[in-house]
């Protein structure tokens, strides 16, 4: 898929103030600092679509972008940043889970996982919650340029294997690096196919 246009539409605190359009939506979420902003910028080839933030946890709203006037890219707040105050964390959780579980045109959630680490509970739990709620998701292992290929494979296999214990089936997986631009083509092709 060629990206012809990428326009910011709005920021929303949850499902209530999400755009009243019927564009198919693809949401991106992961732990703070997983490389989400960088990946989104790579996908649409814009330097500042999602501002690459130096302060983890700074993006607390759901941001909607209209892509090619055909689908929407949804940038979700990062989870699991320990310095976020507890009360705010609960607010996020409600906003995020309300959107994910209730948004009719949500086609797929891209869950970003840092490929440098062995499986983390917070990511496994989040995927388990998506599966329990019947929300379609795929996994993107980010920052693959930062470790040896063998290590990336090992972490990915371990994650998928642990995930099998919390949900049935195996989600589709992608490997990405903003440095080598790996994963861009595959992710856009996946979205393209999902739109047909
Ligand atoms: P976010 O908090 O999930 O939006 O993460 P950012 O996109 O702000 O990235 C966090 C840090 O990781 C930044 O310093 C990025 O430059 C770096 N980063 C993100 N993706 C990659 C990648 O694929 N390779 C490398 N080497 N660094 C990355």
Structure tokens at 144: 């693959």
Instruction: Report the helix count and the strand count for the chain, using DSSP H and E.
Output: 5, 7
Q: What is the mean pLDDT of the chain?
A: 89
- Indicate the pLDDT class of residue 16, thresholds 50, 70 and 90: very high
pLDDT score of 143: 98
User: Helix (H, G, I), strand (E, B), or coil: what is residue 148?
Assistant: coil
Looking at the chain, the whole-number percentage of residues with pLDDT higher than 90 is 72
Q: What is the pTM of this model?
A: 0.93
Each residue of 36-61: b (16+ CB within 10 Å) or e? bbbbbbbbbeeeebbeeeeebbebeb
pLDDT score of 86: 65
User: Helix (H, G, I), strand (E, B), or coil: what is residue 25?
Assistant: strand
Q: In what order do the strands lie in the sheet with 71-75?
A: 6-12, 62-67, 71-75, 25-30, 106-114, 137-142, 173-175
pLDDT score of 144: 98
10 and 181 Cβ atoms separated by less than 8 Å: no
Name the CATH code of domain 6-195 (choices 3.40.50.80, 3.10.620.30, 3.40.50.300, 3.20.20.70).
Answer: 3.40.50.300
98 and 14 Cβ atoms separated by less than 8 Å: yes
User: Mean pLDDT, to the nearest integer, of 83-96?
Assistant: 68
User: Mean pLDDT, to the nearest integer, of 30-51?
Assistant: 86
Structure tokens at 151: 């290590």
pLDDT score of 57: 46
Report CA(41)–ligand 1 centroid distance (Å): 11
Q: Is 147 in the pocket of ligand 1 (CB under 6 A)?
A: no
- Indicate the pLDDT class of residue 66, thresholds 50, 70 and 90: very high
Give the pLDDT confidence of 152-175 residue by residue, as tens digits.
Answer: 999 999 999 999 987 887 899 999
Residues 6+ apart with CB under 8 A from 139: 110, 111, 113, 127, 156, 159, 160, 171, 172, 173, 174
Q: Which ligand 1 atom lies nearest to the CA of residue 31?
A: 3
Q: Which residue, by CA, sits nearest to atom 18 of ligand 1? A: 35
pLDDT score of 169: 79
Maximum C-alpha span of the chain? 45
Domain boundaries, the chain: 6-195
Q: Which ligand 1 atom lies nearest to the CA of residue 40?
A: 7
């Amino acid at each position: 898929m060629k990206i012809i246009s990428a326009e910011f539409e709005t920021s929303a605190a949850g499902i209530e103030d999400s755009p009243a359009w019927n564009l198919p939506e693809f949401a991106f979420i992961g732990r703070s600092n997983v490389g989400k902003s960088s990946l989104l910028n790579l996908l649409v080839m814009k330097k500042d679509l999602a501002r690459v933030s130096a302060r983890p946890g700074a993006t607390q709203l759901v941001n909607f972008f209209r892509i090619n006037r055909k689908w929407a890219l949804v940038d979700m707040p990062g989870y699991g940043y320990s310095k976020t105050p507890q009360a705010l964390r609960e607010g996020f959780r409600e906003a995020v889970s309300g959107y994910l579980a209730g948004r009719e045109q949500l086609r797929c959630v891209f869950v970003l996982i840092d490929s440098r680490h062995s499986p983390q509970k917070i990511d496994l739990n989040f995927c388990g919650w998506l599966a329990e709620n019947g929300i379609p998701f795929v996994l993107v292992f980010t920052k693959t340029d930062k470790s040896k290929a063998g290590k990336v494979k090992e972490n990915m296999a371990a994650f998928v294997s642990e995930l099998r214990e919390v949900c049935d089936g195996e989600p589709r997986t992608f490997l990405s690096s903003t440095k080598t631009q790996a994963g861009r083509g595959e992710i856009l092709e996946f979205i393209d196919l999902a739109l047909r």
